[in-house]
Amino acid sequence: MAHHRTVVAGFEKKFSEIRAESERAIAQLDAAQLRRSLDGDTNSVAVIMKHVGGNLRSRFTDFLGSDGEKAWRDREAEFRDDFPEGEAGREAALEAWHQGFAVLEATLASLSDDDLGRTVTIRGVPQSVAFALARAVAHLGYHQGQITLIARIHVGPSRWKSISIPRGASAVHNASLGFLPRGGGHGGGRGD
C-alpha cells in the first residue's frame, strides 16, 4: 500500500515558507542588530532564533516515540543572550536555528499522511500528530512575525527589503501567477 504525503507535504511547504521568509528578514540585520532588544525587556532576533531552534529540536527529536518536551531541554536558557560578540554570535544564533530545522525537516520527511492520526504527547498532554504539526506551524509563524517586525524596525523603512509581496505590488504579483481576482479567475479571464 502506498503511503500518501499530501497533508504532510503541505506542512513541509508551510514550514519551509516560514523559514525562508524569516531568513530573508534575518539576513538584513548586522550582528549587532541581530542581538538588539527593542526595549531591553523583549527578545532580540538572536534569542528568538535560539528559542525556535531549541523548541524544534525538543519537539521533533524522536517525535513519535517520546514526549515533545525533552528532559535535556533547558527552555529558560533559550531566552538568555549568551552568544559571543560580533560575527561569532551571529553564527551561533544561526547554528541553533539550523539545528532545529534539521531535526524538523528529517522528521517531516519520515512521516506520511497515515501518521497524522497517531498520538504524541507534549508535556504529557496527548494530541494527534496533525494537531502537533499545526501547533508547531502556529508557534513558528508567531515567531516569524516577531522576527520580521523587529528586523524591519532595526533596518528602517528606507533600507528594508520586503520579504513577501511589497506594498503596492499585489496586482503585479497576482498577474505573475496568471490570477485576475476581479471576475477573471486563472488564465485568460477579462477581470471585469
- Assess if residue 184 is contained within a domain: yes
Do 178 and 153 reside in the same domain of the chain?
Answer: no
Q: Are the C-beta atoms of residues 114 and 3 closer than 8 Å to each other?
A: yes
Please write the tens of the pLDDT for every residue from 144-179: 999 999 999 999 999 999 999 988 999 998 999 999
| CATH code of residue 146 | 1.20.120.450
Q: Is the pLDDT of residue 190 over 80?
A: no
CA distance 57 to 103: 6
Do 93 and 181 reside in the same domain of the chain?
Answer: no
Do 133 and 190 reside in the same domain of the chain?
Answer: no
How many Cβ atoms sit within 10 Å of the Cβ of residue 13? 10
**Which range among 3-7, 31-35, 113-117 shows the weakest confidence by mean pLDDT?**
3-7
* Predicted local distance difference test score (pLDDT) of residue 40: 85
